[in-house]
Amino acid sequence: MRTRATLTAIAALFVLTACSTGASDDSAAQDPSPSPAEIDPVEISLVESEVGTALADAEGRVLYGFTKDKDAESVCEADCIATWPALTTAGDVEPGEGLDASLLGTTERTDGVTQVTYGEWPLYYYVGDALPEESNGQGLDGEWFLVAADGTLVKDVP
């Protein structure tokens, strides 16, 4: 009798273990990416940089436009994107005070990442800007400029 009870307990434990393993496999197979409601929106604001008012992210890091980009399509890839990282998003983009929401948009890069645009300009950071409001990339190579609230490039170079 005791052997039968032990065997029954072992069989029950085996069934429970098999069921719980199956349940964890099902949950692992589910998509782990957050829903759009769980993704924080990218916020664009205005800051006073060394050359005037310009677009920045929520932390105050200025954003640049690239004169070789046309019609809100990015051509900055490979070595370029290593120096000029794109402002990307997996969710919404929100304009700060003084910005025109109709100028905000996105474009899909060739690598499938969604890049934020303002006016006709895909937006980028410059790796040489270490602090908020710094604009060390302004005017570099005559192709990289801060973006103004009206969507134009700030061509004044310090």
Domain extents for the chain?
41-154
Considering only CA atoms, which of 36, 66, 72 is closest in space to residue 126?
66
Query: 131 by DSSP, 3-state: which?
Result: coil
Query: Tens digit of pLDDT for each residue in 91-138?
Result: 999 999 999 999 999 999 999 999 999 999 999 999 999 999 999 999
On the CB side of 109, how many CA atoms lie within 13 Å of its CA?
A: 22
The sign one gets for the Cα dihedral 147, 152, 153, 155 is negative
What does the pLDDT read at residue 50? 85
What does the pLDDT read at residue 156? 73
